[in-house]
Amino acid sequence: MTALSAAFAAIDAANARDPDKVDGQPASLLYGQRMTAEQIRLFPDAREALQIAARGQHIERWVLRRADYPEGREGYLTWRRDLAGHHAERVAAIMAEAGYDQPEIDAARRMLLKQGIKRDPDVQALEDVICFVFLKWYFQPFSTTQSPEKLQRIVQKTARKMSAEARALALDTFDMPPPFTDLFTDGNPAK
């Protein structure tokens, strides 16, 4: 077994314990598989640290529940920060167990903590994969639960996180109505 396959197997084993189900499958396991599929499509020559970060991006997401944090923006941001830290540390431990060296472990940790987004190509690549998975698999069901105004803000934030190349590809890939397509043009996403 290669180090990469060992890391994937450990991430999948952890995520298979997710009590939350989507289409009868553990939600985190399915999400990790979708992340890998999209990473291969978008970045087929990605280094192993990026491949592992993509697969483990939501490792054990159910461990820290949103309901256990205060309501409101501050509680939400604290929850998201704590989740990112949990994901980064779990993936780092799995990579160490699989035999990866410290620079590769640190690279995956930076990606999962989003340190250097818009500056580090690997961190940005992971963010682009995350956004594509959201748009492809989770946006439509999510959109039915949100007001048009909130949905507009969410799409705007998604577009802002993506690289210019990923925004252009999203326009070619997804059938979005004009209010959303405007957010993916180079002149508009940061507004």
Residue with tokens 């501050």: 74
pLDDT digits (tens, 9 = 90+) for 111-168: 999 999 999 999 999 999 999 999 999 988 877 888 888 888 888 899 999 999 999 9
pLDDT digits (tens, 9 = 90+) for 12-64: 999 999 999 998 999 999 999 999 999 999 999 999 999 999 999 999 999 99
pLDDT digits (tens, 9 = 90+) for 77-123: 999 999 999 999 999 999 999 999 999 999 999 999 999 999 999 99
Structure letter (DSSP) for residue 146: S
| pTM > 0.85: yes or no | yes
Reduced to 3 states (helix: H, G, I; strand: E, B; else coil), residue 67 is helix
CA 179, 185, 187, 191 torsion-angle sign: positive
CB 50 within 8 A of CB 122: yes
